[in-house]
Amino acid sequence: MTKINAAFHTPEQPPAGFRQLLTESSVTHVHGMELLRLVKMCAGVYDRILGERMRDEDISLPQWRILIHLYLAERNGQATLSPTDLAHSQCVSKNTISAHLRALEESRLIERRLDPDDLRAFRIRLTTASRGLIRASTPLHFEFLNDLVSQLTAEECEMLQALLTKLLESLQRKLEDSDA
């Protein structure tokens, strides 16, 4: 596994050039920027760790996320999803989702069928093989993910989840307000 460079400055000690910019701009609080930076860094490091872990598997991390999304949608009564739905859920372009779907289809982990209501569109569904893959590998993935946060106590995990949920809700409200 490649070593991940986790060295970064603390919120209390930004680089000199940045401190100068803040002073010149009369900015006294950088909480919003620091939270954004740390959340992005955590997400990036998570993706690198998980991508590295899945390197020897038959599917990539983005493909795994697509399968999980399809599985959960199926469990909630949506047997199929459109490529557009999947692109939005994964925050990727239609071209990117198409490439992932093509690879999953070649691996026989999804089926692509014409939408009976719109013959120009496709609907994507899981195969029996992908359901088996998900059921077999999910416990191992969760064990690994839980190990990644093992330095936090159960209370710290709950607190962090609550704070991130509160932040997400706040961000979603801002987004809704800007769309209105």
Instruction: Classify residue 5 as left (phi > 0), alpha (psi -120 to 50) or beta.
Output: beta
7 — pLDDT class (breaks 50, 70, 90): very low
Q: Is residue 158 very low, low, confident or very high in pLDDT (cuts 50, 70, 90)?
A: very high
> Is 32-148 assigned to CATH 1.10.10.10?
yes
Q: What whole-number distance in Å separates Cα of residue 85 and Cα of residue 47?
A: 22
Confidence of residue 13 (pLDDT cuts 50, 70, 90): low
pLDDT of the residue at 20: 85
Q: Please provide the average confidence, as pLDDT, over all residues in the chain.
A: 88
Q: 78-100 pLDDT, tens per residue?
A: 999 999 999 999 989 999 999 99
Length of the chain: 180
